[in-house]
Structure 1
Amino acid sequence: MSALGEPWSTGASRDGEGSLHVAGVDVRALAAEHGTPAYVLDEADLRERARAYRQAFEAAFAAIGAGVDVYYAGKAFLSVAVARWVHAEGLRVDTSTGGELAVALRAGVPGEHVGLHGNNKSDAEIARALAAGVGRIIVDSLPEVERVATAARAAGGAPAPVMVRVTTGVHAGGHEFISTAHEDQKFGLSLAAGEGEADSPAMTALLAAVASPDVELLGIHSHIGSQILDASGFEVAAAKVLALRAELAERTGVLVPEVDLGGGYGIAYLPGEVALDPERVARDVAASVAAAAHELGTPLPRFSIEPGRAIVGPAGLTLYTVGTVKPVRLDDGRVRTYVAVDGGMSDNIRPALYGADYHAELAGRRSTAEPVLARVVGKHCESGDIVVHEVMLPGDVRAGDLLAVAATGAYGRSMASNYNMVPRPPVVAVADGGTRVLVRRETEDDLLALDQG
């Protein structure tokens, strides 16, 4: 067996026949048992990444005298089993809808270890979060402060634990749509006051939370984007959030006990790319917040971070079966081989939505054929139905071959659709040479059961 390295999971290797194995499971046997397309999730790899982030941040923040919690991003991929795995590794769970909250609770994650995000939470979602005793509700607008307060009064219990999400103006991320701290977007409250305004929207919401007897202001939340490969943005954003915390304390006497620094740490999607190292980013962020707090003269709060796709993304791959193979001559005289698989944009929308790059390899056999320029496409009725924009594949790739696409653990299944009435693939966990279905394959009967005729 020879290990593959990034962007594949640590459990990925090839045998002497060239067949891909994950956690001791031959993908040929997996395809025969579970069919294709299928999401394949390496349990040990996912657990190890969760553990590595928790340990790295705990050690780095302990060194500066601060505590830290690590939250798993439910939006990247959430199932009952995965929620149990990450909680067992010491992570908390971040949810952004009532559905994600329901999965975390079904998994047995204690309410106090769950956070609820969302820029447009329904009254029902807020009420459910309070009933579940969630550890924090991240407030995303000024009216939401009062909506959460009203829900807490109606529930007749303790004040609702809230954090106020702010936008720091620090831009980071792999695409405009996943950069979440610039001003012109839907999340959070700006640190910048408008013309004629005494306070920024962020400070206005914080003051409202301090004044309300029905909410408990836990702290300030910041998130600057996703697929971030440079830690410097976190350092700048953290300094701004700590300065806001100090200003609030100066004005109200309330020094909030928590600050969430967000996350969205990047992963390798292509061979040769290098993901953020948990230990390095933890040391860099801890050093920057310690310096900022010292300069402000305020004690350090408890911190939380959200690594995002870095936990589950590299742990997953998608396994396809090749169908049509079609050479197409390009305007510059080159030939691109279009390799169509039995899935597509319904199981991975990111290449069509963001132009995201992925890497694919022949998974079921060894080939000595000369590589050709290829584009992996899906079966959907869209010219933009692209799985891998450009990759070199063996020139003898043919119908019936297995093809694996790396690093699809995040946002593949969670953003999947039934476009063209295609049932969504299963999620199959692999561990210690065995397989287990976490989320079963949808069937046409599932689709028809929703249609009331």
Structure 2
Amino acid sequence: MGASALAPDWLSFPADANALRGVQWAAGVARTDDGELAVQGLRVSEVAREHGTPLFVLDEDDFRARAAGFRDAFNAAFADLCGGVDVYYAGKAFLCTEVARWVTEEGLRLDTCSGGELAVARRAGVPAGNLSLHGNNKSSAEIETALGMGLGRIVVDSLDELERVAAIAGRLGTTANVMLRLTPGVHASTHEFIATAHEDQKFGLSMVADDAGASPAAQAVAFALVSPAIHLLGVHAHIGSQIFEAEGFEVAARKMLGFLASVRDTHGVQLPELDLGGGYGIAYTEADTPREPAELAQAMAAVVREEAAALSLQVPRISIEPGRAIAGPSTFTLYEVGVRKTVAVDAVDADGGTLPRRYVSVDGGMSDNARPVLYDADYTAVLASRVTGSDPIMSRVVGKHCESGDIVVRDVYLPDDVAAGDLLAVPGTGAYCWALASNYNYLARPAVVAVRGGVARTIIRRETEDDLLARDMGA
């Protein structure tokens, strides 16, 4: 056997199907002497035996190290510009009370985007001043909750919402700390559904002037500066997700600093804060080449320094919002293999025969990882419970749902002898997998275990059938 003509251009034929590409895995993941996958020395077979599958396995030390890495790299790069950076962990990537505590202990703040995420933060004891509330359509109840908690900031997404926040704050006799989310019109080289800074989408205030000569962003600033119920902290931009190059962030920084200069020139006010968002990419497959936080930080700091000087603008306090880049690589999903089958694909190989594709079914699927269905996201997988000298064969890892699109890993070379009962591990599933999990086909959502010091503990328990039926009022 050899390379398959069915493989996408980016997928190379493995010299060793048992090898791990380090950048895709948590730092504590390695193979044992006999070849089994382990995290901090804890074998996956032991984890599966105790906690079941499918299962999210999180390396807590790796998660904490990545959080600290962003904190240290950006603080160092911006120290002489604005005294450092406020790093907000983007809770939408993956959030539970333990994670909220970890990021707080590592000196990060926390960005939320719903009343439910605020409830998690409150339960975890995150200081209200370290919290941010995002969202394009916050309910009045969510706004009231945020104001009642004394939240550090509410990121306002529209003129309508700004007026609502002002009205609610006025009624409650308080002042809302507000950042305005703007759309800088920067194209992020990412999937259409996760590129968020272009005009034709639901997020943010446009910086493009209307027929009357004022942009929605400028109108929002004018309103906020005269409203007694609004304390305008600054402006915010988020250009998308899964971005590998610094150029998009640099362009956005220039546009946002230019806007702050225009606010100064028009209103005589220097707004003190600028949030440059998140969206830093991670390595899901061998095609992905993520940048280290220090490289991104230094590139962004250089642009902020240059542009602020050109505009004679005091550098505002900078904040960023990494989520995926912290949570994603820290976690892998562990599945048990069930049915496998090999099908003949309607294509012809060099010898004139049909091309085989192996389908490997696992005990989870689109209910624990919706990203391949939503975004055509690519992942990889490895045989985790053992090593083998069997030849690699072009495979597709699929779930157990009644959907032909229920694909976990679209293209991967797996050993030919993968069989029922084997364990497969899919790396890079710490972000937007458990968070997007569903009960489709009434599957219970998996547990999440955190490993530290070679010991696994449950931080989110597995759902049960009783959980699934608890809200069904037909009984």
Instruction: Name the TM-score class by shorter chain.
Output: over 0.9
Shift of 1:23: 1.7
- Residue of structure 2 in register with 1:114 after alignment: 131
The one-letter code of the counterpart of 1:388 is V
- Residue of structure 1 in register with 2:188 after alignment: 172
- Residue of structure 1 in register with 2:436 after alignment: 415
Contact 2:82 2:316 (C-alpha < 8 Å) held by counterparts: no
SS of corresponding position for 1:102: helix
Matched, 1:162 2:183: no
Alignment of 1:41-52 (within 5 A): 41-52=58-69
Q: 4+ residue stretches of structure 1 with deviation over 6 A?
A: none
Matched, 1:23 2:40: yes
SS of corresponding position for 2:385: coil
Matched, 1:436 2:457: yes
In the aligned structure 2, how far is the partner of 1:63 from the partner of 1:56? 13
Contact 2:97 2:121 (C-alpha < 8 Å) held by counterparts: yes
The one-letter code of the counterpart of 1:251 is T
SS of corresponding position for 2:46: helix
- Residue of structure 2 in register with 1:295 after alignment: 310
Shift of 1:155: 1.7
Shift of 1:4: 5.2
In the aligned structure 1, how far is the partner of 2:172 from the partner of 2:85? 30
Matched, 1:209 2:230: no
SS of corresponding position for 2:276: strand
- Residue of structure 2 in register with 1:344 after alignment: 365
Contact 2:57 2:332 (C-alpha < 8 Å) held by counterparts: yes
Listed one character per residue, the Cα deviations across residues 320-344 of structure 1 (whole Å, up to 9, x for unaligned) are 0000001010011110000000000
In the aligned structure 1, how far is the partner of 2:396 from the partner of 2:190? 22
In the aligned structure 2, how far is the partner of 1:156 from the partner of 1:211? 16
Contact 2:58 2:448 (C-alpha < 8 Å) held by counterparts: yes
Shift of 1:63: 3.3
Per the normalisation by structure 2, the TM-score is 0.93
Shift of 1:146: 1.3
In the aligned structure 2, how far is the partner of 1:119 from the partner of 1:162? 14
Contact 2:77 2:84 (C-alpha < 8 Å) held by counterparts: no
Q: Number of residue pairs matched? A: 451
Listed one character per residue, the Cα deviations across residues 142-191 of structure 1 (whole Å, up to 9, x for unaligned) are 0111111111112223x100000000000114200000000000000111
In the aligned structure 1, how far is the partner of 2:339 from the partner of 2:345? 18
Alignment of 1:49-448 (within 5 A): 49-157=66-174, 159-194=175-210, 196-271=211-286, 273-332=288-347, 333-448=354-469
- Residue of structure 1 in register with 2:350 after alignment: none
Percent of aligned positions with the same letter in both sequences?
Answer: 58
In the aligned structure 2, how far is the partner of 1:140 from the partner of 1:6? 35
Contact 1:53 1:70 (C-alpha < 8 Å) held by counterparts: yes
Per the normalisation by structure 1, the TM-score is 0.98
Contact 1:321 1:400 (C-alpha < 8 Å) held by counterparts: yes
In the aligned structure 2, how far is the partner of 1:26 from the partner of 1:134? 42
Output the aligned Cα RMSD: 1.2
SS of corresponding position for 2:437: coil
Gaps of 5+ in 2: 1-18, 348-353
Contact 1:3 1:10 (C-alpha < 8 Å) held by counterparts: no
Shift of 1:271: 3.3
The one-letter code of the counterpart of 1:93 is L
In the aligned structure 2, how far is the partner of 1:154 from the partner of 1:22? 52
SS of corresponding position for 1:314: helix
